Structure formats: structure tokens, C-alpha cells
Amino acid sequence: MPRFLGLDCSTQSMSAVLIDTADRAVLAEHSVSYDEKLPEYGTTNGVLPSFNPAIAHSPPLMWLDALDVLLSEMCDMGADFSQVSAVSGSGQQHGSVYLKDTAGQALALLHSERPLSVQLRDVFSRESSPIWMDSSTAAECRAMNEAMGGEEAMAAATGSVAFERFTGPQIRKFSGEELINYKNTDTIHMVSSFLASIFSGRHAPIDRGDGAGMNLMDLSRDSWHPICLEAAAPGLVGKLPPIVPSDTVVGELSRYFERYGFSRGALSVVWSGDNPNSLIGVGLVEPGRIAISLGTSDTYFGYMPELHADPAGEGHVFGAPCGGFMSLICFKNGSLARERVRDRYEYSWDDFSRALGSTPPGNGGGIMLPYWVSEIVPRVPEAHVRRYRLDEDDADANCRAVVEAQMLSMKLHSRWMDVAPTTIYATGGASANPEILKIMADVHNAAVYRFSVGNSAALGAALRAAHAFHKHHGEEMPWNEIVGGFTEPVKDSRIDPDPDTACLYQEMAELYAACENHALKGEDWSEHV
């Protein structure tokens, strides 16, 4: 019985999906929220409190405790891990973990009697990990872009201009502000390679998909870029694990996992970032379709055969686990913004959906620029909500405005990818809301399908584990076969665009662009009134 486990260490929760590839079945799926299950860490939505709103860190020990809670709850629920052949995972992209030179031995000595957080308490040279929501490294980004010869050169080499949440600028900031702690750091991991190290009982490499989210990797060569490394921090080359293909087997599972019934000999496969994993988890192993993930952040992504960076410097190119690349744009004001609007009007999610259903497409021309927190695309350094012809006291219109804004912004800012999708796969928590998916279909003028496995990143990781396992045993399988049967959209979930409404949104996109240019560049928007 070929069984594979995929984990996902995301911003707010740790999740797992257990699959059986013979039956093409998901056997178990579970998730634990950090705030709920581990309140002792004091996080809000998985992030530590900070006096500076630009700083977003999480405690890596919390992730270890969450992993233990998750696996033990799954065992209590009857999950049988003894038949698992290989494990892989997904880490929230860009986050980094800093370890002392004692970590290698501590990983090797992991045993099943005591929890991970007890055995690994002393291995961190930095207690908290900067994560993708951090936007405190503007100066470091400028310096790194400059060292590379400008934003365009940085994007051409690494797939993205230097972005605040990316790991290279984060490392530069750490070495600049805490040189002693930086010098005490022996190994810097991504969230993904850190957790792969736990499963492997030794330092795991970084896969090319997630490595591309650091502003440190030469995307065309899958190797560390010497100029980026030098621009980031002194001696960095000796602190980074090697870059490997996404189907690399790190070794056998650490003995620690006997605690949960895993068998000796099960394989530990390199982890990747949440976006490369989701690409596999929704079956985008060839070009043509795109996916929109409605999570803490919203992302818009697709497979990209040839390397082609965004000239505006807003989008990203990462390595795809199935070879080639993936293009992605990330909007920080995803669920975060929808939640803020819901909370502002003291609505439940049912009220929010009812409001979407009872307001007209186009919102009577009322537009919100939904920067409830600083935004990545377009670049908005400080939280700043603007309303155009939209009454702040009209709760229902504000619910529609936030969702329309998110979809219109995706439509405008994805133009560089050169795909006019006719099919969109919707994933993530908010994809359960048909009213949101209707707006998605109409704005993008594309058929939208929903996915039943809520966690496409964890599913993608499980499928990657399966691919790597077969390759390891000399029987490499085509990706279409690997994902087949797992990444089918929910039956009857298709939502077609309405042609008239799609036309209306086509015009509204220009109005939205004018509002955006007015708010961000001071351009006149009166001709659109």
C-alpha cells in the first residue's frame, strides 16, 4: 500500500495530508492552529507581537510543538503512519531559521522519548524567524539591488527584484543588526529545509523551488549567486545548505518519528515552499491554466516553461518541482483584508456572503483600495485603505468592494505573465465561498473550479514525496500520472462567467487602475468619474 505524507507549515497553522496512491485516495487530513493549540507562544495568527508593525516573526519552537500536536492528534484520530513510504512537506516561503553549530548533532541524536521542542531548545542562534509578512528590510533591498546592478538585473538573475520579505535581505538585516548572533550562526535554513532537517535527522538541502524565494539563487543555474551572497552578508556561502532538485531524497526518516508509528526505512524527501507545492497540489504541471489561492495572502500562479521575469518588478518566478518554472504574484491583503472588513462591520462569514449576494456586480462604481496592511502588489509600504464613491458606513457595499478590488488587482497585475486564463483553479480557505468564486469568474472572464482538498500545499508535498520515492526506486513516473485522480476539481463546482458582467468588469478594471494610480502615484482620475 503506497502511502505518502505531506505536511504544511504555514503562517497560521500546521497541516498534514495522508494519501494512498494505489487508490488515489486522501486517507486523512488534519490541521492545528498555532494560536489555538499553543497559546503559550503568544502569537496572533501565528505571528509574534511587535512594537514595529513592519516586523513579522514567528517562533520556530512553536512550529516544532505544532508538529508534535498535529501528529499525535492524527494518531488519536486513527491515522496509521506505519505504511508511509515517504514524507515531504511545504514551508511558508521566504521565512528563515538560524541554527548554532550544535544543531547537526542534536538532529542526529533525536530520539522518540521527548518532544522535539525539548530536544532542540538550545540549537537556535536566533530565537525567532522572520517570515514572509515582514516588511522591515527596505534599506537592505535597495542595497542588494544596487549590488546586482539594479532591480532589473536582480530580477533577471534571481526571478524577483529584492523584496522585503525575501530571505537574502532578511539575512543582511540580521548580520547588520546582530553581528555576534550572525557569527554564532552555523546554518541558515528556510522554513522548508529546517523542517526537512527534523524529519531527516540531519541538515537537509534547500530545493530549487523554495531557494528561488531568497534573492540569493541564480535561477538559470540552480546555484547560489556569488554577487547576491556577498551583497547579503559576510561568509554567507558557508552557512547555506546546498540547492538540490525538488525530488531529492535526503535519507531515511529520523528515529524520532517512531513515536508516531512511522516505520524504519521510510524516506525523507526534501521540502519545498508553499507555492511550488501548491502548483503540484492543484495539478498545474503544464502551462495553460492558472490557480488562485485564497489564503492568509492571496496568490495567483501558474506553470511557466521558460524563465521570464516581470519587468515591473512586482511578480516572481520560482522553480517548479516538475522542472521549469512557476510565475506568481502575492497579495498580502488576502484573507487578512477580507477578515478586517468582516470584523469592521461585526459580520459573520454568512453575513459577508449574504452581502456579496445582495449587492450588484460593479458595486455601483464604488471602489476600495484594500490596503488594510502594507501591500506587496502593488507596492504599498504602509497600510492605507482608500474608498472611491464608496460609503464607509455601507457594510454590504464594503464587503463587495474588498473582493472586487482583490480580483481586479489580480487581473491588472498578472498581465506580465502573458496568459489569458480560460480556466482558474481556486484553492485555499476562502475558495469554499461560492459568492467570492462568482466574482472571480466574472472579473477574469474564466471558468472557475474549486478543489476539495483544502490544503493544496500539503497535498502537493505528499505527491512530491510519491514522485521522489518512485524515482529513488528507479521508476520515475510522469507528473501527469502522479497528480492524476488527486488534483481533479470538485465535481459540479464549475462556475462560468456571465458575459455581460465580464464586460462590466473589463471597464471597471480601467477605473480601478485609475484609482490605484491616483492613490499611489498622484495621477488624475477625474476623466473616469
Residues of this chain that interact with ligand XUL (CB under 6 A) are: 10-11, 92-94, 132, 165, 213, 273-275, 297, 299, 316, 330
Least distance between ligand XUL and beta carbon 226 (Å): 24
Residue 156 or 190 having the CB closest to ligand XUL: 190
**In the structure grid, which three cell numbers stand for residue 390, read together?**
464608496
| CA angle (334, 62, 170) in 5-degree steps | 60
Least distance between ligand XUL and beta carbon 93 (Å): 3
Distance CA 257, CA 214 (A): 30
Residue 95's identity, in one-letter code, is G
Residue 66 or 110 having the CB closest to ligand XUL: 66
Distance CA 31, CA 6 (A): 12
Least distance between ligand XUL and beta carbon 100 (Å): 26
Least distance between ligand XUL and beta carbon 334 (Å): 9
- Cβ neighbourhood burial of 375 (10 Å; 0-12, 13-18, 19+): buried
Least distance between ligand XUL and beta carbon 107 (Å): 24
Distance CA 150, CA 263 (A): 51
Least distance between ligand XUL and beta carbon 411 (Å): 18
Residue 11 or 96 having the CB closest to ligand XUL: 11
Residue 169 or 366 having the CB closest to ligand XUL: 169
Residue 360's SS3 state is: coil
Q: Which of 43, 84, 176 is nearest to 462 (CA)?
A: 84
Residue 244 or 326 having the CB closest to ligand XUL: 326
Residue 272 or 433 having the CB closest to ligand XUL: 272
Angle, nearest 10°, between helix axes 274-281 and 456-472? 80
Least distance between ligand XUL and beta carbon 91 (Å): 8
Backbone φ and ψ for 122, nearest 5 degrees, come out as: -95, 10
Q: Quickly tell me which residue has 502593488 as its cell.
A: 378
The answer to whether 255 touches 109, Cβ cutoff 8 Å, is: no
Residue 95 or 361 having the CB closest to ligand XUL: 95
- Cβ neighbourhood burial of 527 (10 Å; 0-12, 13-18, 19+): exposed
Residue 493, CA distances (Å) to 174, 448, 501 in order = 46, 8, 20
Q: What's the chain's Rg over C-alpha atoms?
A: 22
DSSP 491-528: TT--BPPPHHHHHHHHHHHHHHHHHHHHHHH----GGG
| CA angle (448, 451, 457) in 5-degree steps | 120
Least distance between ligand XUL and beta carbon 283 (Å): 19
Least distance between ligand XUL and beta carbon 492 (Å): 29
The answer to whether 444 touches 497, Cβ cutoff 8 Å, is: yes
Q: Which of 489, 327, 314, 508 is nearest to 403 (CA)?
A: 508
Q: Which of 485, 482, 492 is nearest to 448 (CA)?
A: 492
| CA angle (100, 269, 31) in 5-degree steps | 85
Angle, nearest 10°, between helix axes 349-358 and 335-344? 90
Residue 273 or 489 having the CB closest to ligand XUL: 273
Residue 163 or 469 having the CB closest to ligand XUL: 163
Residue 154 or 355 having the CB closest to ligand XUL: 154
Least distance between ligand XUL and beta carbon 299 (Å): 5
Residue 300 or 347 having the CB closest to ligand XUL: 300
Residue 93 or 129 having the CB closest to ligand XUL: 93
Distance CA 219, CA 210 (A): 11
Least distance between ligand XUL and beta carbon 57 (Å): 14
Residue 311, CA distances (Å) to 159, 163, 288, 417 in order = 11, 14, 21, 10
Least distance between ligand XUL and beta carbon 349 (Å): 21
